[in-house]
Amino acid sequence: MRETFLPFALPDLGERERQQLQEVLDSGWLTTGPKTRQFEREFAAHVGAVHAVAVNSCTAAMHLALEAIGLQSGDLVITTPYTFAATAEVIRYFDAIPVFVDVDPETLNLDVRQVREVAAALGNRSPSGRRFLPPALGTTAPDRGFGTLKALLPVHMAGYPCDLDALYAVAAQHHLAVIEDAAHAFGTTYKGRPIGCSPYPGVPSAVCFSFYATKTLTTGEGGMICLSDEALADRCRIMALHGISKDAWKRYSAEGNWYYEIIAPGYKYNMTDLAAAIGLAQLGKAERMRQRRAHIAREYTRAFRELPELQTPPDKPDGQHAWHLYVLRLCLERLTIDRDQFIQELKQRKIGASVHFIPLHIHPYYREKYGYQPEDFPVAYGEYLREISLPLYSKMTDADVESVIGAVRDIVARYGRAAISSAPA
Ligand SMILES: *Cc1c(COP(=O)(O)O)cnc(C)c1O
């Protein structure tokens, strides 16, 4: 049993971050400036992106990306219910409609076969497509047409890459944009390419990263939009800072640098140099942190693989797993306790744990707005009921890892049905 509580997540911060921050403090330039530009350049190089726009969250990144592709009120965006609030709320910012499609039971990423079917039905605007719309919309306006399908918004769940070849093929066929929610996927590769550089000509796309405190690279709060299209990148850059055109600066440079032009009512989403400084330090040790997480994940899987009460996460993606989360699934029929009790038992053994995710369609807002039932996305709902995320971060010591393994094994031994039926009377 541990002496101290093991938090579910902790950032890996140290001397590098301290030095970078000191430079910013000493320079007197706190907001967007040279550190942010340097972080954009180095991040773009790291993931092989043509353009990188630093912002203050992944939520902001996705909002700007959807704005740049021209999302309008009433438009449809196919996305996953198995995600965090941000993924669908950014669609609602436009009064556009998130069309949820269920996930693959193994990877918890969008089920590509279903995406293909839904995109075909909605993309052709055939009346039969209506059955894929949120139930409340499908029934209350039976003879009204529905909006235009504009984009796919997949999530690389836990850092396991989506099948991008298949998703971009669907997008190309139906003239859709792809906005990748890569909040978990800094460190992920797909077919040898880092997430962030999706090279699919003809499909407008943006890859959005999160640098929230728990993510695989942190700036406290922060995000990045990676794009290959220059016009989309320019639009994101301009809208990230009040819709102020930088070109105006260049054009009117003779009038001095006080001059600017507002070309649209933009947002205040810029990254500060304080945040970028932390990001630069984190970039320098990203590979070391990833390798440590991968090592811990392998240790977990080795320890849990043989236990029939547990299902370990998939770890042979078509590429490299970033291991943002270790997604353990309980085989509930083999246990006498449920997921919530399992987490309580972990807590009693001083191990922090979490759940990723409560599917969006069972939250009050989406349930009431769109008339969803939990069973509308049976995989997302079923997996949610048996999912536990274990601590997985580079600051964990070998003893921390052992204590997690010990606690999980102990709980399974105590509450496994096999253990009970075979125990001597
Ligand atoms: C963390 C997270 C986000 C939001 O990131 P922020 O930087 O906090 O805006 C979006 N999507 C997923 C899947 C996440 O886990």
| 58 alpha carbon – ligand 1 mean position (Å) | 6
pLDDT computed for residue 198 by the predictor: 84
pTM for this prediction: 0.96
Determine whether the shortest distance from the Cβ of 58 to ligand 1 is under 6 A. Answer: yes
Find the catalytic residue in 35, 215, 316, 369: 215
Ligand 1 binding pocket mutation candidate from 107, 212, 215, 387 (most atoms within 8 A of CB)? 212
* Predicted pLDDT of residue 88: 98
**How far apart are alpha carbons 250 and 386 in whole angstroms?**
56
- Ligand 1 center to 9 CA (angstroms): 15
Residue 323, C-beta contacts closer than 8 angstroms, at least 6 positions apart: 158, 159, 187, 216, 290, 293, 294, 296, 297, 392
Whether 218 is in the pocket of ligand 1, judged by its Cβ within 6 Å, is no
Q: Which of 362, 359, 310 is nearest to 110 (CA)?
A: 359
**C-alpha 77 – ligand 1 centre gap (Å):** 18
Longest C-alpha distance within the chain, in Å? Answer: 91
Q: What contacts 70, CB < 8 A, 6 or more positions away? A: 150
Give SS3 for 155.
strand
150 part of the active site: no
Q: Is the CB of 109 under 6 A from ligand 1?
A: no
Task: Give the distance (Å) from ligand 1 centre to CA of residue 59.
Answer: 6
CA separation for the pair 343, 37 (Å, rounded):
42
Q: At what angle do helices 273-284 and 286-304 cross, to 10 degrees?
A: 60
Residue pLDDT tens, the chain, 425 long: 899 999 999 999 999 999 999 999 999 999 999 999 999 999 999 999 999 999 999 999 999 999 999 999 999 999 999 999 999 999 999 999 999 999 999 999 999 999 999 999 998 887 888 899 999 986 555 556 689 999 999 999 999 999 999 999 999 999 999 999 999 999 999 999 999 988 999 999 999 999 999 999 999 999 999 999 999 999 999 999 999 986 654 555 555 578 889 999 999 999 999 999 999 999 999 999 999 999 999 999 999 999 999 999 999 878 899 999 999 999 999 999 999 999 999 999 999 999 999 999 999 999 999 999 999 999 999 999 999 999 999 999 999 999 999 999 999 999 999 765 555 54
> How far is it, in rounded angstroms, from Cα 372 to Cα 381?
12
State if residue 9 touches ligand 1 by the CB under 6 angstroms criterion. Answer: no
- Ligand 1 geometric centre to CA of 340 (Å): 23
Q: What is residue 144's predicted lDDT score, i.e. its pLDDT?
A: 61
Is the shortest distance between the CB of 205 and ligand 1 below 6 Å?
Answer: no
Is the CB of 223 within 6 Å of ligand 1? yes
